[in-house]
Each structure stands twice: as structure tokens, then as C-alpha cells.
Amino acid sequence: MSRSEYFIGLMSGTSMDGIDAALVRFNDEQPQLTHNLSHPWSEELKTRLAQLTSNGAISLKELGQLDILCGRQFAEAVCRLLEEAGIESSNICAIGSHGQTVFHHPHAPAPFSLQIGDPNTIAEQTGIAVVADFRRRDMAAGGQGAPLVPAFHQAVFAHPQRNRVILNIGGIANITILPAGGGISGGFDTGPGNCLMDRWVEKNTGSSFDHNGSWALGGEAHEPLLKHFLRDDYFSLTPPKSTGTEYFSSAWLAQKLHGYPSLAARDIQATLLHLTCDSIQKAIRRWAPDTGEVLVCGGGAHNDALMDTLSRQLGSTPVISTDYCTAAIDPDWVEAMAFAWLARQTLHGNPGNVPAVTGASHPVVLGGIYPA
């Protein structure tokens, strides 16, 4: 067996409910999660980030400051992880930092994706090399820069006999299509995951999310509104495609709700839950009709109402958490582990993108390396 290598993956999604830090050991076998933690954002910084991502308008001074402040928060997460795990920074090969996405615009004529969280700051404050800015090299090669996690999904979840779909439900939902025997036949963002439900429940109840979908369960999905949602052009686009919360935003929801003033708030929440499930199952039915099982990761895996609804819609196709497959990875830590894996790919000079997913013209080594 080869010597073990340790990498750290850092991930903060569109919900900004914390910075996920995962310490991952790599050897000849499956990568192993050896320690993990969720590091909270400071309330002030979280508020400033939420304002930025909600309206996209910011001064260069504010953007530069947020970049540094986010980098410091990422570094704090790493230092806390090392302390809790009882491991020295010298034992870590590199940190893979996704950064905090503040805008994703994969469309011509000048596609771009912007993540902040200065990797120079992380490297300086942790004493560990950092790999960051993963998305833009794929975009330079003609891809959409997203989703990037499918390569990791293939590495850990491919099955010799089963056609699988790996479904990540974060703020945005995305799928990876893994045919039996290896390879990836596709993958893309299906549309909103938790983002619209989170914003609606917070607006109406003050809660940051709908625990187990219980608030949605108290309402009834409104079929005409659901059909209105699903007529949005994004859902009919042919992959490769990707999106973000700058598209499926509070403004998007407000515009779609115009003309439905009398609907109860909980009925709208129930309809949003069905929007997430319907858009996912329609994508699977159309682009992966031979799917044998769906493995779910991300925060949505804990929403019982969402999982039950999706299971009913997919009928005989099992819908299970990644906890319960052979690889047995906690659904909360798949993405952070993926960026540890992507950092390792970069240091070893291996591609990290999947052109069949992103639309890039060829495989590329992702990210920039910021030495310790």
C-alpha cells in the first residue's frame, strides 16, 4: 500500500449555513473522511455576503474586503479542524478551497464564475499550500465551470452492475449520471434545490430553513403555480447547463408569484418543494431513464418531506442517502471531500473536470496553486 496523503477540503454553499471543512486521507483504497467540522460564518460577514449575492451590486472596495475577510474565515476553519483532529499542518499536502460563490454567469459572450475567499490569506495563516479558483480554467476551455463534483462522484460511487444517479441537493440541485461499469454519461444543475424554500420560509417565519419540510407539509401544492414555475426556460434547456441563486433568487420568485396574490404562504412552500422534486425527477426521467438507484447527498437529504415526495415520484427507483450505499459517505460531507479530491488531482497534474458534464472542449487541470 502506498503512503497515505492528507488533504483538506473547504466548501461553503449558497445557503451560507457554515464552512464545511473535511480532513481526507487518500491511499490505494477509497478516500476516507478522518475528521470534519462546520465552522460558522460571523453574523456580520454572513449578512454582507447575503446582501451581495441577493443584488449583485457592490463597490470594488467592498468586494476586495470581503475577499480577504472570507479568506480569514476559511483559514480559521482549517486551524480549528487541525486542532480538533490533533494533526500538524506539516502533515497536510494541500487545502482545496471552493471559496464562496458570489456570482455564476456561464453564458456567452463572456462567461465567468466568481468565488471569493483569498487563497493567499488561507495559505499564509495556515502554513499549508492551497488549491483554489477551480472553475475558471474549465470555462476558459469552453465549459460552464459547473458542476465540478461529478468527477469525484465517479471516483467513489460508480458501481459495476448498477446505473446510478448521484443527486446533490444544496441551494441548487445537480445530478451526476453514472452508467454501470464506469464512466460518466452526463451531469448538470437541475434547478433550485433548497434555495427558494429557504428564502420563502425565512421571509414568512424567520426560520433559516424548513426543518424536515414540516412547514411545507402543512400546505398543499398549487398545481397551476407549479406548472407556471416549470415553464421557466431553464428547465427546458439541453445540458450542459448550470445555474445559481443569482438566477433562482427572491426576485425570480416574486416575479413568478405575481398573479397569485391570494395563495397561503404554506401552500407556496409546498409548491416550491414540489418544484424541486418535479424538476429533479423530470431531469432523471429524460436524461437517465435507465437509472437503477438515486443516491442523495447535500442538505436536502435530511428533508424528510422532500425525500418522500421524490421517492413517490420516482416510483420503483430507490432514493437513498449516500450514507447507505457501499461507499457510505455522510451526505453532509460529500462536497467538501470532493474539493480535497480535486486539490489532489491538481497537485498530481490530473484533470478535474468532466467535459461531458461541463461542456469543456477537453479535460483540464483545475485551479491555481498557492504555496505555503
Chain-wide mean pLDDT for the chain?
A: 95
Per-residue pLDDT for 1 more than 50?
no
For residue 115, name the pLDDT band (cuts at 50, 70, 90).
very high
DSSP designation for 299: G
245 shares its domain with 310: yes
Supply the CATH number for residue 199's domain.
3.30.420.40
pLDDT in tens, 50-75: 888 777 678 999 999 999 999 999 99
pTM score of the predicted model:
0.95
Residue in this structure with the C-alpha cell 421524490, named with its chain if needed: 310
Domain match, 39 and 125 both? yes
Reported as a pLDDT band with limits 50, 70 and 90, residue 183 is: confident
Residue 315 lies inside a defined structural domain of this protein? yes
Q: Is residue 49 part of a domain?
A: yes
Same domain, yes or no, for 87 and 176?
no
> Lowest-confidence range among 11-20, 76-85, 184-193?
11-20
* Average of per-residue pLDDT across 347-366: 97
Task: Report pLDDT for 289.
Answer: 97
Q: Is residue 154 one of the residues assigned to a domain?
A: no
326, pLDDT greater than 70:
no
Q: For residues 110 and 47, what is the distance between their CA atoms, to the nearest angstrom?
A: 29
Say if residue 58 is in the same domain as residue 178.
no
Residues 236 and 257 in one domain: yes
In this model, does residue 325 exceed pLDDT 80? no
Least confident residue range of 116-120, 181-185, 274-278: 181-185
Residues 296 and 349 in one domain: no
Average pLDDT (215-222) is 97
CA 70 to chain centre: 18
Q: Which domain holds residue 280?
A: 160-324
Are 110 and 167 found together in one domain?
no
For the purposes of burial, counting CB atoms within 10 Å of the CB of 141, is it exposed (0-12), middle (13-18) or buried (19 or more)?
A: middle
Based on the fold, state whether residues 81 and 98 are members of the same structural domain. yes
Read off the pLDDT of residues 132-166 as tens digits, 9 standing for 90 and up.
999 999 999 999 999 999 999 999 999 999 999 99
Q: Is residue 152 part of a domain?
A: no
Residue 165 and residue 285 share a domain? yes
Residues 197 and 344 grouped into a single domain: no
Q: C-alpha distances in angstroms, 185 versus 77, 80, 287, 356?
A: 35, 39, 9, 7
Q: Is the pLDDT of residue 104 over 90?
A: yes
Residue 149: inside a domain, yes or no? Answer: no
Same domain, 251 and 353: no
